[in-house]
Homo-oligomer: A and B are copies of this chain.
Amino acid sequence: MPRILRLNMTDRTYRWEEVPPDYAGLGGRALTSRIIRREVPPTCHPLSAANKLVVAPGLLTGAPAANTGRISVGGKSPLTGGIKESNSGGLVSQKLARLGVAGVVVEDKPRPEDGFSLVRITKDGVEFHTADDLTGRGNYQTMARLWKRFGRGIGVMSIGQAGEKCLTSASIHFADPQGRPGRAAGRGGLGALMGSKKLKALVVDDKGTPPVPLADPQKFKAAARKWAKYLLEHPVSGQALPAYGTAVLINIVNEAGALPTKNFRGGRFEFAEHISGERLVELIKQRGGKTKEGCHPGCLIQCSQTFHDAKGKYLTSGFEYETIWALGANTLIKNLDEIAVIDRLCDDFGMDTIEMGCTLGVLMEGGVIPWGDGPAAIKMVKKVGTRDPWGLIIGNGSVFTGRALGVDRVPAVKGQGLPAYDPRAEKGVGLTYATSPMGGDHTAGYGVATNILGCGGTPNPLKKEGNVELSRNLQIATAAIDATGMCLFVAFPVLDNPDALQCIVDLINARYGLNLTTGDVGALGRQVLHDELSFNQDAGFTKAHDRLPEFFAKEKLPPHNTTWDFTDEEVDQVLGDL
Chain A positions near chain B (C-beta within 8 angstroms): 41-48, 50, 112, 165-168, 192, 195-196, 367, 388-390, 392-393, 396, 400, 403-408, 410, 537-542, 544-545, 547, 549-550
A11 to chain B, nearest CB (A): 18
A166-B540 contact, Cβ under 8 Å, with A389-B393, A390-B389, A550-B45 = no
User: How far is it, in angstroms, between the C-alpha of A408 and the C-alpha of B403 when the chains are bound?
Assistant: 19
A446 to chain B, nearest CB (A): 26
Number of copies: 2
User: How far is it, in angstroms, between the C-alpha of A406 and the C-alpha of B391 when the chains are bound?
Assistant: 13
Q: Known pairs A41-B550, A389-B390. 19 more at Cβ < 8 A?
A: A43-B550, A44-B550, A45-B550, A47-B406, A48-B408, A48-B550, A165-B406, A166-B405, A166-B406, A168-B403, A196-B408, A389-B404, A393-B404, A396-B403, A400-B403, A400-B404, A537-B542, A540-B540, A540-B545
Nearest residue, chain B, Cβ from A545? B540
- Quick one: which of A168, A389, A538 has the most chain B CB within 10 A? A389
Question: Which residues of the partner chain B approach A45 to less than 8 Å between Cβ atoms?
Answer: 408, 410, 549-550
Asked whether A192 lies within 8 Å of B406 as measured between CB atoms, the reply is yes
User: How far is it, in angstroms, between the C-alpha of A121 and the C-alpha of B44 when the chains are bound?
Assistant: 48
Asked whether A392 lies within 8 Å of B405 as measured between CB atoms, the reply is yes
> Which of B50, B167, B406, B544 is A406 in contact with, Cβ under 8 Å?
B167
Interface CB pairs A-B, < 8 A, 8:
A44-B550, A47-B407, A48-B408, A166-B406, A389-B389, A392-B404, A393-B393, A540-B545
User: How far is it, in angstroms, between the C-alpha of A406 and the C-alpha of B170 when the chains are bound?
Assistant: 11
Asked whether A544 lies within 8 Å of B396 as measured between CB atoms, the reply is no
Question: Which residues of the partner chain B approach A168 to less than 8 Å between Cβ atoms?
Answer: 403
> Which of B48, B166, B403, B544 is A43 in contact with, Cβ under 8 Å?
B544
A544-B539 contact, Cβ under 8 Å, with A47-B408, A396-B403, A406-B166 = yes
Question: Which residues of the partner chain B approach A545 to less than 8 Å between Cβ atoms?
Answer: 540
User: How far is it, in angstroms, between the C-alpha of A538 and the C-alpha of B406 when the chains are bound?
Assistant: 23
A272 to chain B, nearest CB (A): 27
Nearest residue, chain B, Cβ from A388? B389
Question: Which residues of the partner chain B approach A410 to less than 8 Å between Cβ atoms?
Answer: 45
A230 to chain B, nearest CB (A): 42
User: How far is it, in angstroms, between the C-alpha of A541 and the C-alpha of B45 when the chains are bound?
Assistant: 17
User: How far is it, in angstroms, between the C-alpha of A520 and the C-alpha of B412 when the chains are bound?
Assistant: 44
A386 to chain B, nearest CB (A): 12
> Which of B46, B538, B541 is A540 in contact with, Cβ under 8 Å?
B541
A49 to chain B, nearest CB (A): 9
A101 to chain B, nearest CB (A): 28
Asked whether B404 lies within 8 Å of A396 as measured between CB atoms, the reply is yes
A352 to chain B, nearest CB (A): 16
A276 to chain B, nearest CB (A): 32
> Which of B50, B196, B408, B542 is A550 in contact with, Cβ under 8 Å?
B50
A355 to chain B, nearest CB (A): 14
Asked whether A43 lies within 8 Å of B404 as measured between CB atoms, the reply is no
Asked whether B549 lies within 8 Å of A538 as measured between CB atoms, the reply is no
A42-B544 contact, Cβ under 8 Å, with A47-B406, A406-B192, A406-B195 = yes
A382 to chain B, nearest CB (A): 14
User: How far is it, in angstroms, between the C-alpha of A396 and the C-alpha of B544 when the chains are bound?
Assistant: 24
